[in-house]
A and B are shown apart, each in its own frame.
Chain A
Amino acid sequence: MITYFRPMCAAGWPGQAGVMITIEHLTKRYGAQVAVSDVSFACQPGTVTGFLGPNGAGKSTTMRALVGLASPTSGTATFDGKHYRELPNAGRQVGVLLDAGAQHAGRTGRETLTLAAMVLGVGHQRVDEVLGLVGLAGRPAGKRLGNYSLGMRQRLGLATALLGDPQVLVLDEPANGLDPEGIFWMRGLLRGFADRGGTVLLSSHLLHEVEAVADQLVVIAGGRIAAQGSKSELLAGTGGTLVRGPDRALLAKALDAAGISVSSGPDDALVADADALAVGQAVAAAGVVLTELRAAGGAGLEDLFRSLTGSSHQVQEVQA
């Protein structure tokens, strides 16, 4: 198994006055069971960090420890050096959405936000603002949450997280239950938030959900960090060129003759360890027919995710 471990620079970016999340050697045990083991990573202001891993890998435990809902067995999780519990009015600095289902079914969307707004000390006007922002203004705001779809609950959860106008967003599986249009909308929202200097940590068990918006990726599997780094760094590590042709054996032979090593790609394709030009030249020289030639790119990241998280049952979900 390939493991990429690239600890990120711990210093804040010069000239940027955002809040940095730092998780250092975080370990959480439940009796003999280790949920999270020695997890360290940092999220910089102005970036979106995708926290990836299969269900049960330790994402939620890490995030709960980050916002003080769980006490770590050892290690620390801080915002600009401060524990979440030390923040004077936590919701004004860190917007949190850990579980969209964790809301009172008997309250309306507006009432749920009003309660949070009272704690945060923001006005009713702000409630209307975020309702509009997440697309729940008007009639949906007056409906009881028992009648909300999961997608609507996610939007309300995002509204709660944004209510205090925070500098940091911590979101656990925020895309769950959102339709493709909703996921696209959320990406834009998070991108804009980060571009204005905000810090975003969002988790997902689906690579495609975070791939498009994340700058940094942290992959966790079995409670341990399996890989982390910028998206391009991780991609570079698994590059290669995907080639497909009617005769797979012939194709492999042609590439082998040109000194290009190959491995099995998805389905009947091959992944060659060279750029597209070199592959194309080698194949043309051998006179072999090609039906597909492209950078293994996205699929490479997906393979990486799959291999790092190392569970075959994830494959279908990843491709869904």
Chain B
Amino acid sequence: MSTATLDAGRAPTGTAPTAPSLLRLVRVELRKSYDTRAGRWLLIVIGLAVLAVVAISLFVEDAPKRFTDHFGITQLPISILLPVLGILLVTSEWSQRTAMTTFTLVPRRSRVLVAKVLAATVLAVLGVAVAALASVLATVLTPVFSDAERDWDITAALVGQVLVVQVVSVLAGVAFGMLLLSSPLAIVLYFVLPTVFTILVSLISALDWVRDWLDLSTTSMPLFEDGVDAQGWLQFGTSVGLWVALPMLLGWVRIQRSEIA
């Protein structure tokens, strides 16, 4: 391995190689999310935060202790922290300037972006899975630390809704990253903008309809409980349009057109 011969590869061959499959590009993007110290620590922190939440709900006496309760509460740290991973998935390419290599190896930029969106989706699903595992652990331990019985009841609808919300929040991070192409800017605005928006539309009663249709934190709230009706989905959909689809569209166009230097 250490014998450095002057063999610059074999004599250049004329074989026509095939384009990397989307699956391969998704695997590359997933690997990028954990192969740096920052990414690995973020994942570890998310894991620890989930365990901490489980511990709190186990030891706090009046906290509800059914599996579905644990499952609901463990979503909190994931929905806050996982979008940061989504942001970094995009912005680190610019802050660390790896975009140059990435887009030189895959010059059709939209393929990279699709791979990033899919990788973020996989991460969100994995996040929900981790929350589910932690909730299983919590439910198993519930009789040990409290008087409550083990209650495993949960509806498939709720699991589905939670998955949708988590995927959407990670993709919102990706969208902010794509639009802003800067880690600090995207992270700050991802947390500040929706919060300011929520406060504004909640304070001014004339803006109630804005809150009901365009405020993502308001419209995603019902999805953490069973029984979302058609209007609920519609309201969730319009706010996803504003906070995910729109910035992603603008960011997509920006990345397609920008010069990578």
Contacts and interface: CB of A to CB of B under 8 A. Distances in A.
A276 B1 CA distance: 52
A193 B8 contact: yes
Contacts of A230: none
B30 to A, nearest CB: 10
B35 A121 contact: no
A69 B37 contact: no
A89 B7 contact: no
A119 interface: yes
Nearest to B99: A102
Given A88-B17, A103-B97, A103-B101, 7 more contacts: A68-B104, A102-B97, A107-B35, A111-B35, A116-B101, A132-B4, A138-B1
A104 B8 contact: no
Interface string A119-130: 111000000101
Interface stretch (A47-55, A93-101, A234-242, A250-258): A93-101
B260 to A, nearest CB: 4
Given A133-B7, A160-B101, A138 B2 contact: yes
Contact of B100 (A98, A132, A190): A98
Interface in A120-153: 120-121, 128, 130-135, 137-138
A87 interface: yes
Given A118-B31, A162-B9, A165-B9, A106 B37 contact: yes
B8 A162 contact: yes
B16 A69 contact: no
> Which of B3, B6, B105 gathers the greatest number of chain A CB atoms within 10 Å?
B105
B24 A121 contact: yes
24 contacts: A64-B259, A64-B261, A68-B104, A69-B104, A70-B261, A84-B107, A85-B107, A88-B17, A90-B107, A102-B101, A104-B98, A107-B35, A115-B28, A115-B31, A118-B20, A132-B1, A132-B3, A132-B5, A133-B7, A165-B9, A165-B10, A193-B9, A193-B12, A197-B11
Chain A contact-residue range equals 35 or more
B35 A165 contact: no
A148 to B, nearest CB: 13
A189 B6 CA distance: 6
A118 B27 contact: yes
Contacts, number: 144
4 A-B pairs with the lowest CB-CB distances in the bound complex, closest first: A106-B36, A102-B97, A92-B17, A167-B12
A242 to B, nearest CB: 35
Interface of A: 17-18, 60, 64, 67-71, 84-85, 87-93, 96, 98-99, 101-107, 111, 115-116, 118-121, 128, 130-135, 137-138, 160, 162, 164-167, 188-190, 192-193, 196-198
Contact of B92 (A90, A104, A164, A196): A104
Contacts of A119: 20, 24-25, 28, 105-106
B103 interface: yes
A107 B33 CA distance: 11
A102 B31 CA distance: 18
Given A88-B18, A102-B98, A106-B38, A118 B8 contact: no
Contact of A115 (B13, B35, B103): B35
A91 B105 contact: yes
A98 B104 contact: yes
B259 A70 contact: yes
B2 A132 contact: yes
A234 B17 CA distance: 38
